């Protein structure tokens, strides 16, 4: 079966040549022009001997050059390796060497880091551009070939390269565009998620271009700039992570304007506190659909869908063609499914599950078992089939022999009027093994004792935080996820 991610753009360029594909500031690229520029850069890559079997890394900000480079690499028959834009040169060099990249595409403010990393890896840096030639496009990939290698955030040791196939990415974009969001060429999607990350790449960029809709790119996110873009460009669909929802809600408190065309919002990447969801929906007059997935699941795995119902605080039901279940987290090397209502490790199987980690058979074998992918997340499925993510398995706090799930504590603290953001971690304690600590970003001043008392009234005796620490902001990873490891290390 022949299938290519590049066909997502090629087909829309054929069907909607004059529609606007990408907006970046004053730049308006039609589908025909974007595809023409993609084929031009693909010809440049081929002229350098890059083609099927090769890998090309891409280190670019959220600009029009990202889709130009991404689809050009794929149109040339190579595998694309998107690189985290927040990495330092040594980290980028590791990705280049580990992936065996033939070249690195970069430019703008990221060019100095790219140049240092490329020199260390012994490869050249290319800038997006084209000559007179246009590469004739032939979708010559098989569906199971690797289309992209996405490196995980590396919370435990070096990042691993997740191999996503053309089938993985084409199916995920198609399901997101059609089944989940009902995208049409009339839609405009705000692309403020980093495109090097699976969420921004698959759900925002690939899904939008699959539908022939318009992708509005924001090179740098802030609440006020995003609000301006949503109003000015008449954005109909917003996709973000919880920190973006917080920033937009805060921006709306200082600005009476609202995006009149907005019809639906999507949250992913981390758990969205229900209190924040409620504040956002009240401010913007639209609903937020929370979903769940990982880099290894392309990423969309479950979603609050119009067809299966929406339940705030949950991540909905599996997307089309995908199964989600709960297994005993203590049973390594096998899948032991648990009944509804029991907390365990979330496992996923379907067309979205990756092909394994690059050159790491042991890590692959540890997570791909009997056709299921072990996510490392703890969750519970209710009798109606709604999945709730309880927490990361590694973030579980065991206080005095009792399991405490940080998300439950965070949900309570997030409702305190003085709390803007909160992350709950476990700290070493000689008497109880671990003690619960809430790290809080304040909206206005409040005493530590008041937050402890607030929690004690609303949580069991083993759950409420005895320690509260205040920070001006929480440390975030490239996808907007709170880096709890950094918080634990800082407090250890």
Chain position carrying tokens 């700039």: 225
CA distance 477 to 472: 16
Give the single-character DSSP code of 232. Answer: H
DSSP 477: -
Strand order in the sheet with 55-59: 124-126, 103-106, 55-59, 79-82, 146-151, 161-165
| Cβ neighbour number for residue 154 with a 10 Å cutoff | 14
Please state whether beta strands 467-470 and 433-442 pair in parallel, antiparallel, or not at all (unpaired).
parallel
Angle (CA) 68 152 216, round 5°: 35
The pair of three-digit structure tokens given for residue 44, joined into one six-digit string:
């440049």
Q: Say how far apart CA 396 and CA 378 lie, in whole Å.
A: 9
Domain limits, the chain: 6-10+31-164, 172-392, 396-491
For domain 172-392, say whether CATH 3.55.40.20 is its number. Answer: no
Burial (CB count within 10 angstroms: exposed 0-12, middle 13-18, buried 19+), residue 49: exposed
CA distance readout (Å), 422 to 160, 454, 464, 475, 487: 29, 14, 13, 11, 11
pLDDT of residue 409: 93
What does CATH list as the number for 396-491? 3.30.300.30
Give the torsion sign (CA, 444, 448, 449, 455). positive
The whole model's pTM is what? Answer: 0.89
CA-based R_g, the chain, Å: 22
Residue 50 tokens, joined? 């890059």
CA 68, 71, 77, 83 torsion: positive or negative?
positive
Domain 6-10+31-164 and domain 172-392, same fold? Reply is yes
- CA angle (75 as vertex; 74, 78 as ends), nearest 5: 45
Architecture in CATH of 6-10+31-164: 3-Layer(aba) Sandwich (3.40)
Which DSSP helix (H) or strand (E) runs through 367? Answer: helix 361-367
Task: Give the Cα-Cα-Cα angle 318, 210, 163 (nearest 5 degrees).
Answer: 60
Kindly write down the DSSP assignment for every residue of 293-312, as one continuous string. E-GGG-SEEEE-BTTTB--T
Task: Please report, in tens digits, the pLDDT of each residue of the chain (492 residues total).
Answer: 789 999 999 999 999 999 999 999 999 999 999 999 999 999 999 999 999 999 999 999 999 999 999 999 999 999 999 999 888 899 999 999 999 999 999 999 999 999 999 999 999 999 999 989 999 998 878 999 999 999 986 544 688 999 999 999 999 999 999 999 999 999 999 989 999 999 999 999 999 999 999 999 999 999 999 999 999 999 999 999 988 999 999 999 999 999 999 999 999 988 899 999 999 999 999 999 999 999 999 999 999 998 999 999 999 999 999 999 999 999 989 999 999 999 999 999 999 999 999 999 999 999 999 999 999 999 999 999 999 999 888 888 989 878 888 999 999 999 999 999 999 999 998 888 889 999 999 999 999 999 999 999 999 888 999 999 999 999 988 777 888 988 988 765
- β-sheet with 20-24: strand ranges across: 27-30, 20-24, 214-217, 188-191, 237-240, 264-267, 288-293, 300-303, 317-318
How far does CA 154 lie from the centroid of its chain? 15
Q: What is the pLDDT of residue 157?
A: 63
Q: What is the C-alpha to C-alpha distance for residues 440 and 418, in angstroms, rounded to an integer?
A: 10
């Amino acid at each position: 079966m022949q299938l290519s991610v590049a066909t997502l753009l090629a087909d829309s360029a054929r069907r909607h040549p004059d529609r606007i594909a990408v907006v970046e500031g004053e730049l308006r690229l039609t589908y025909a022009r974007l595809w023409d520029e993609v084929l031009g850069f693909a010809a440049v890559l081929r002229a350098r001997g890059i083609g099927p079997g090769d890998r090309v890394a891409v280190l670019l900000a959220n600009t029009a050059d990202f889709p130009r480079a991404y689809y050009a690499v794929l149109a040339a028959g190579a595998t694309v390796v998107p690189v985290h834009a927040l990495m330092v040169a040594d980290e980028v060099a590791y990705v280049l060497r580990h992936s065996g990249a033939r070249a690195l595409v970069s430019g703008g403010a990221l060019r100095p880091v790219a140049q240092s990393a490329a020199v260390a890896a012994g490869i050249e840096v290319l800038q997006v551009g084209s000559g007179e030639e246009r590469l004739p496009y032939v979708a010559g990939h098989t569906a199971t070939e690797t289309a992209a290698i996405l490196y995980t955030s590396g919370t435990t040791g070096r990042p691993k390269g997740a191999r996503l196939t053309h089938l993985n990415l084409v199916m995920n974009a198609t399901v997101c565009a059609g089944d989940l969001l009902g995208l049409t060429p009339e839609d405009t999607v705000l692309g403020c998620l980093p495109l090097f990350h699976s969420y921004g790449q698959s759900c925002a960029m690939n899904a939008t271009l699959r539908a022939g809709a318009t992708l509005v790119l924001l090179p740098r996110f802030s609440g006020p700039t995003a609000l301006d873009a949503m109003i000015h460009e008449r954005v109909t669909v917003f996709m973000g992570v919880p920190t973006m929802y917080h920033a937009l809600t805060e921006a709306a408190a200082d600005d009476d304007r609202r995006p009149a065309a907005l019809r639906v919002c999507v949250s992913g990447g981390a758990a969205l506190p229900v209190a924040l969801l409620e504040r956002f929906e009240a401010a913007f007059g639209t609903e937020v659909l929370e979903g769940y997935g990982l880099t290894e699941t392309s990423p969309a795995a479950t979603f609050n869908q119009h067809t299966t119902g929406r339940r705030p605080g949950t991540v909905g039901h599996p997307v089309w063609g995908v199964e989600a279940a709960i297994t005993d987290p203590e049973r390594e090397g096998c899948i032991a499914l648990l009944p509804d209502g029991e907390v365990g490790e979330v496992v996923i199987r379907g067309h979205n599950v990756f092909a394994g980690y690059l050159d790491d058979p042991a890590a692959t074998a540890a997570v791909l078992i009997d056709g299921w992918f072990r996510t490392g997340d703890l969750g519970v499925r209710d009798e109606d089939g709604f999945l709730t993510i309880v927490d990361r398995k590694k973030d579980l706090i065991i206080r005095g022999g009792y399991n405490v799930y940080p998300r439950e504590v965070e949900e309570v603290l997030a409702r305190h009027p003085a709390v803007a953001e909160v992350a709950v971690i476990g700290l070493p304690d000689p008497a109880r093994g671990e003690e619960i600590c809430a790290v809080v970003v304040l909206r206005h001043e409040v005493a530590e004792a008041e937050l402890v008392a607030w929690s004690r009234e609303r949580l069991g005796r083993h759950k409420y935080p005895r320690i509260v620490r205040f920070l001006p902001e929480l440390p975030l990873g490239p996808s907007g996820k709170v880096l709890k490891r950094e918080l634990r290390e800082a407090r250890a």
